[in-house]
């Protein structure tokens, strides 16, 4: 498909009616409105009733066309934020520069954004630092990252509106930047990680020019804000395609930039005479993460499952390759120093950094616990023990070692603070229901949203 500037500047949107016969079969037919969140539909219909253009947009349209369940439903509209607020009583405007409307429903928020134009660039620099210019519908499609993420769905007429060739790329299962890949990637290098995430999760191919730009400008990732990088790493680890995501990042030399210690661990594999595939420790852990009930695992557990491997390698096989100077060869000291370096770069909040240190430090102890040894009572009283057990479970499944210890710990463990009971698979299993209830009354220090314990959905089943 021709994605040259001239093709992009054509103002004619492709409007594909659901009922039209379509020689490519998928995906232009078959968005069933029953699959769309009722409240998102209400928002779109109400905006339309007041005379504004309003569509579902982005990931939800892509996923509906692919017959996947969308994670959330976003709305794009021609209404300006104060106009949206006037129409919806349940609306709050958020954001200082670019105001977004959050329309609140009982259990969810429908994010409703006014059409935006291409972001402003600061003097001669491509990197976008603010993204706050209103625009029209077509401009809103063009400022998005990939063609498959820029489709609008108009539920009233049941049409897909495609300004960027996204439908064709969905059929071809292709990830393609909108516009000039070299520019789009430098404007916002986090798009590199997003391309990897979508390619891995959807099993799509990255189009060659997009891929070349990602590889060529991968070092620009270090200019991006660490919390955004961390968020994308977390999303990859939670996507069910952690193995595929990390493989793609490793092959493209991207892991070297964002997690150089993990890349170092993988490249040192042949030296360690590993019997299985090089780097098998990390790959095996990632595979188990993909198979686990990830919604119950904390971000700290997921990140610790990755960092554990370079830390263990540095501790056992030498610190030099990892660039940590250590006066002592004590394993704990090496681990602490290396983790400090990684955690500092990722700019993790202090409490989460500490948690990762604790989780990594306990693994050796759990793996070396003898079958008949007394239970580590002190450790079991720690507030991080449920997460340590979650990480240990991933390790047991990945290595096939420590099964008996895991079973014994699970049986013996009862959380001291029942509020921990929802914080991971281990605690979820251990906590008696009554304890969970009473524990909620206890006041706990508020944690940042991304790391607050994941609530167990009522319908979820025990494994
Ligand atoms: P997911 O299923 O992971 O939520 P998504 O496509 O919905 O995928 P979001 O991060 O929720 O991704 O973003 C919503 C939409 O906003 C995207 O579909 C895309 O159109 C746009 N978008 C998000 N991040 C960027 C970015 N860095 N650059 C340009 N557009 C972006
Ligand atoms: Mg989304």
Query: Is 78 in contact with 177 (CB distance < 8 Å)?
Result: no
CB 188 less than 6 A from any atom of ligand 1: yes
Alpha helices in 239-383 (DSSP H): 242-251, 255-258, 260-267, 280-291, 299-317, 331-346, 350-367, 377-381
CB 387 less than 6 A from any atom of ligand 1: no
Q: Using CA atoms, how far apart are residues 358 and 73, in angstroms rounded to an integer?
A: 37
pLDDT tens over the chain, length 463 residues: 333 333 333 344 555 544 444 433 334 456 877 889 999 999 999 999 999 999 999 999 999 999 999 999 999 999 999 999 999 999 999 987 778 999 999 989 999 999 998 766 655 666 665 556 889 999 999 999 999 999 999 988 888 999 999 999 999 999 999 999 999 999 999 999 999 999 999 999 999 999 999 999 999 999 999 999 999 999 999 999 999 999 999 999 999 999 998 998 898 765 555 555 556 789 999 999 999 999 899 999 999 999 999 888 887 776 667 777 655 556 667 778 888 888 888 888 889 989 999 999 899 889 998 888 888 888 998 999 999 999 999 999 999 999 999 999 998 886 655 555 444 444 443 333 333 333 333 444 444 334 333 333 333 332 2
CB 352 less than 6 A from any atom of ligand 1: no
Range 5-172 classified under CATH 3.30.460.10: yes
What pLDDT sits at residue 437? 36
User: Which ligand 1 atom minimizes the distance to the CA of 58?
Assistant: 18
User: Which ligand 1 atom minimizes the distance to the CA of 60?
Assistant: 7
Q: Given ligand 1 and candidates 142, 145, 169, 234, which is best to mutate, with the most ligand atoms within 8 Å of its CB? A: 145
What pLDDT sits at residue 19? 44
Which fold is adopted by the domain 175-258?
Hydrophobic Seed Protein (1.10.110)
Q: Using CA atoms, how far apart are residues 333 and 18, in angstroms rounded to an integer?
A: 62
CB 190 less than 6 A from any atom of ligand 1: yes
CB 390 less than 6 A from any atom of ligand 1: no
Write the residue with the smallest CA distance to atom 26 of ligand 1: 145
Q: Please classify residue 279 by burial: count the beta carbons closer than 10 Å to its beta carbon, then call 0-12 exposed, 13-18 middle and 19+ buried.
A: buried
What pLDDT sits at residue 3? 36
Asked if the peptide bond before residue 284 counts as cis, ω within 30 degrees of 0, the response is: no
Our answer to whether residue 5 is catalytic in this structure is no
Q: Is the dihedral of CA 192, 198, 201, 207 positive or negative?
A: negative
Closest CA to 430 of 396, 381, 369, 376: 381
358 C-alpha vs ligand 1 centroid, how far in Å?
33
Q: From the CB of residue 116, how many other CB atoms can be counted at a distance below 10 Å? A: 19
Q: Using CA atoms, how far apart are residues 165 and 158, in angstroms rounded to an integer?
A: 18
75 C-alpha vs ligand 1 centroid, how far in Å?
12
CA angle 75, 180, 202 (to 5 degrees): 55
User: Which ligand 1 atom minimizes the distance to the CA of 70?
Assistant: 2
Rounded to whole angstroms, what are the CA distances from 332 to 129, 240, 308, 363, 383? 40, 32, 12, 12, 20
**How much of the chain is in helix, strand and coil states, percent to nearest 5?**
55, 10, 35
Closest CA to 405 of 380, 436, 368: 368
Stretch(es) of the chain classified as CATH 1.10.110.30: 175-258
| Ligand whose nearest atom lies closest to the CA of 187 | 1
Q: What are phi and psi of 338, to 5 degrees?
A: -65, -45
294 C-alpha vs ligand 2 centroid, how far in Å?
18
Q: What are phi and psi of 135, to 5 degrees?
A: -150, -165
Q: Give the chain's end-to-end CA distance (angstroms, integer).
A: 46
Write the residue with the smallest CA distance to atom 3 of ligand 1: 59
Q: Using CA atoms, how far apart are residues 239 and 136, in angstroms rounded to an integer?
A: 32
What are the residues whose beta carbons fall under 8 Å from the beta carbon of 192, sequence distance 6 or more?
185, 214, 217, 218, 221, 254
Our answer to whether residue 140 is catalytic in this structure is no
Q: Given ligand 1 and candidates 57, 144, 148, 198, which is best to mutate, with the most ligand atoms within 8 Å of its CB? A: 144
What pLDDT sits at residue 390? 95
Stretch(es) of the chain classified as CATH 3.30.460.10: 5-172
Q: Please classify residue 433 by burial: count the beta carbons closer than 10 Å to its beta carbon, then call 0-12 exposed, 13-18 middle and 19+ buried.
A: exposed
CB 191 less than 6 A from any atom of ligand 1: yes
CB 187 less than 6 A from any atom of ligand 1: no
CB 59 less than 6 A from any atom of ligand 1: yes
What pLDDT sits at residue 346? 87
Catalytic residue among 39, 63, 140, 145: 145
Q: Using CA atoms, how far apart are residues 300 and 440, in angstroms rounded to an integer?
A: 22
CB 144 less than 6 A from any atom of ligand 1: yes
Our answer to whether residue 290 is catalytic in this structure is no
| Ligand whose nearest atom lies closest to the CA of 191 | 1
């Amino acid at each position: 498909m021709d994605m040259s500037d001239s093709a992009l500047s054509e103002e004619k949107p492709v409007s594909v009616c659901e009922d039209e016969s379509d020689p490519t079969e998928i995906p232009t037919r078959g968005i069933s409105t029953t699959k769309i969140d009722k409240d998102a539909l209400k928002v779109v219909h109400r905006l339309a009733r007041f005379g504004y253009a309003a569509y579902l947009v982005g990931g939800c349209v892509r996923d509906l066309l692919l017959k996947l369940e969308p994670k959330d439903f976003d709305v794009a509209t021609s209404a300006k934020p104060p106009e949206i607020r006037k129409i919806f009583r349940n609306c709050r405007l958020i954001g200082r520069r670019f105001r977004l409307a959050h329309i609140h429903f009982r259990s969810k928020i429908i994010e409703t954004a006014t059409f935006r134009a291409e972001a402003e660039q600061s003097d001669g620099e491509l990197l976008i630092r603010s993204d706050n210019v209103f625009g029209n519908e077509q401009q809103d499609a063009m400022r998005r990252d990939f063609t498959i993420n820029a489709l609008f769905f108009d539920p009233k007429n049941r049409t897909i509106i495609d300004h960027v060739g996204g439908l064709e790329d969905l059929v071809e299962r292709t990830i393609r930047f909108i516009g000039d890949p070299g520019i789009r990637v430098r404007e916002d290098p986090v798009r590199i990680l997003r391309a990897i995430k979508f390619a891995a999760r959807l099993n799509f191919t990255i189009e060659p020019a997009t891929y070349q730009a990602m590889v060529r400008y991968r070092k620009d990732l270090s200019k991006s804000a660490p919390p955004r990088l961390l968020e994308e790493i977390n999303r990859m680890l939670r996507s069910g395609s952690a193995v595929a995501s990390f493989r793609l990042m490793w092959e493209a030399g991207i892991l070297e930039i964002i997690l150089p210690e993990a890349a170092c661990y993988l490249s040192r594999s042949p030296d360690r005479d590993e019997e299985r595939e090089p780097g098998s420790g990390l790959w095996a852990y990632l595979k188990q993460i993909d198979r686990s009930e990830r919604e119950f695992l904390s971000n700290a557990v997921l990140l610790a499952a990755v960092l554990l491997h370079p830390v263990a390698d540095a501790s056992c096989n030498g610190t030099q390759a990892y660039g940590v100077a250590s006066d002592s060869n004590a394993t704990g000291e090496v681990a602490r120093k290396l983790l400090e370096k990684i955690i500092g770069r990722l700019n993790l909040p202090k409490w989460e950094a500490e948690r990762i240190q604790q989780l990594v430090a306990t693994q050796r102890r759990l793996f070396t616990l003898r079958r008949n040894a007394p239970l580590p009572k002190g450790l079991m009283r720690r507030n991080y023990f449920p997460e340590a057990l979650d990480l240990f479970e991933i390790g047991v499944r990945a290595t096939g070692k420590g099964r008996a210890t895991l079973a014994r710990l699970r049986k013996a463990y009862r959380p001291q603070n029942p509020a921990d009971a929802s914080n991971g698979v281990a605690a979820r299993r251990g906590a008696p229901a009554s304890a969970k209830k009473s524990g909620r009354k206890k006041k706990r220090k508020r944690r940042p949203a991304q790391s607050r314990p994941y609530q167990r959905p009522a319908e979820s089943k025990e494994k």
